[in-house]
Amino acid sequence: MAVEKHKPSTPALTEWEYAPAPEAREIVTLEKRYGLFVGGKFVAPKSKEWQTTISPATEEKLAEVAYAGEADVTGAVVAARSAFENGWSGLAPAERAKYLFRIARLIQERARELAVLESLDGGKPIRESRDVDVPLAAAHFFYYAGWADKLEYAFPNRRSRPLGVAGQIIPWNFPLLMLAWKIAPALAAGNTVVLKPAETTPLTALLFADICRQAELPPGVVNIVTGDGRAGAALVKHPDVDKIAFTGSTGVGKAIQRELAGTDTRLTLELGGKAANIVFDDCALDQAVEGIVNGIYFNQGHVCCAGSRLLVQESIYEQTVAKLKRRLETLRLGDPLDKNTDIGAINSKLQLDRITELVQSGKDEGAEIFQPACRLPEKGYWFAPTVFTNVAQSYRIAQEEIFGPVLSVLTFRTPEEAIEKANNTAYGLSAGVWTEKGSRILWMAERLRAGVVWANTFNRFDPASPFGGYKESGFGREGGRHGLEPYLRFDA
Ligand code: NAP
Ligand code: MG
């Protein structure tokens, strides 16, 4: 029987639009004002300073948040010291673990609330906050809860003690997840903490404060001081802080290192990156293209370990770039609370200006720019996903961290050349390798000066796996057994 071909009476649609699928924001109840979380209570700042945090997608004002001054930071350190001396450091490790397990479960219970709030305050797609940030934050607490009463197995034949009060300063790109990376190992090791969230994204840290109350964590074990860089600087300078853990820009990291030089305050720094994602001609190219996209456009490229330099083997250059451009056309940019959104808002006006300036430098220096056709919303801060080709290694877009959805494409011929180009940066946080050959993966991993090397994948995280940098990407490791060490003192 002949197959009768169906002839549509109307021409086929050339564009398929998705219906809006917004996550309900009613799950979040915002206070008008949030004080500092000190000694288990929300308190008004002695500084009497308040600032508004906004949604970068709409510029809508969300809430007023206290800005801590020096006296407020001191108050938080005093509360943390007192909690350390009067109970927390002497608590049986298995009891400590119970609090961490409780916090982990509460993060899971309140996951939707946390995810919506994270996307509102920071602009990241709900798909990412819901499926990556919040589950990983819970996983970190579960993981370190497990270590709390097993430190003698984590470090056999070494007697360890907590350091005391840890001052922790985090950036705005993964607000809740960076909080978890910092607070979970610190508490598991028996320390108390004072945490300074980033200025533009304080709200999930304040919801976390409420989770600490719900978990009946003893007052003062976790203190949250919101504010700007001044609060961070005051925490770094405070003489009664035993350890500073900082995640942020290399510039501020260097300033902190200078400030602490000659003191006995412990320090770990997780700083910037300019990772190479290296694609060999024998790789599964469609998967690699997905990995390239995930490597640089995940979280609008606001990722310290983003694969922001694509190194493609010359023989497959044209094919790879064509596939990549085609894939970019399908990325959906817009409302972070929409479940179909791939690319959300840029975190702040300041960051948008930085990205815009660096992209302009790329054009001025002679690189060729590609952006898919996409309509940017009128309000808020947005940047279209961008690919630069014809990039020389000396261009600023190949050297400096853009921290936005901007990829620079370079080429190589041999594995040796790939290594040389990949390592030609002041940073050393991460790298990716795409090839079918296991031996080549090992050969490359041995030579790449990067804290993490992903093979045939990118931007994968697990609490059991240590993360951290070389060179100007900082020092110290977070995650895994290694992540406990910076929070412990070992007896000789
Ligand atoms: P940033 O300016 O260094 O800020 C990071 C944190 O430090 C914020 O809480 C900030 O407060 C605070 N701060 C600012 N000045 C300070 C000072 N003088 N003393 C103490 N604290 C101070 O970095 P950013 O531009 O917000 O964040 C992006 C950078 O973070 C990128 O370079 C990225 O690579 C890096 N990062 C690294 C990792 C990693 O694990 N390696 C992870 C995420 C991000 P304010 O928010 O009020 O300015
Ligand atoms: Mg905000």
Decide if 179 is inside a domain.
yes
pLDDT of residue 479: 97
Q: Are the beta carbons of 355 and 404 closer than 8 angstroms?
A: yes
pLDDT of residue 3: 55
Cβ 429 under 6 angstroms from ligand 1: yes
Strands 368-370 and 386-389: antiparallel
- Residue with CA closest to ligand 1 atom 15: 229
Domain harbouring 33, CATH code: 3.40.605.10
Total count of domains within the chain? 2
Rg of the chain over CA atoms, in angstroms?
Answer: 23
φ and ψ at residue 311, rounded to 5 degrees: -105, 115
The amino acid that residue 339 corresponds to is K
Residue 288 and residue 153 in one domain: no
**pTM of the full structure:** 0.95
pLDDT per 10-residue tile (average), the chain, 492 residues: 53 71 94 98 98 98 98 98 96 97 98 98 98 98 98 95 98 98 98 98 98 98 98 98 97 97 96 98 98 98 98 98 97 97 98 98 98 94 98 98 98 98 97 98 98 97 96 96 97 82
- Residue with CA closest to ligand 1 atom 19: 233
Cβ 351 under 6 angstroms from ligand 1: no
Ligand 2 geometric centre to CA of 123 (Å): 8
> Whats the size of the chain, residue-wise?
492
Residue 214 and residue 234 in one domain: yes
- Residue with CA closest to ligand 1 atom 31: 249
List, in order, residues 6 or more apart from 432 with CB less than 8 Å away. Answer: 275, 276, 277, 278, 291, 295, 307, 453, 454, 455, 457, 458
pLDDT of residue 17: 79
Give me the domain span that covers residue 477. Answer: 25-271+473-491
Decide if 239 is inside a domain.
yes
Decide if 468 is inside a domain.
no
Residue 157 and residue 264 in one domain: yes
Residue 85 and residue 51 in one domain: yes
> Of ligand 1's atoms, which has the minimum distance to the CA of residue 259?
19
Cβ 430 under 6 angstroms from ligand 1: no
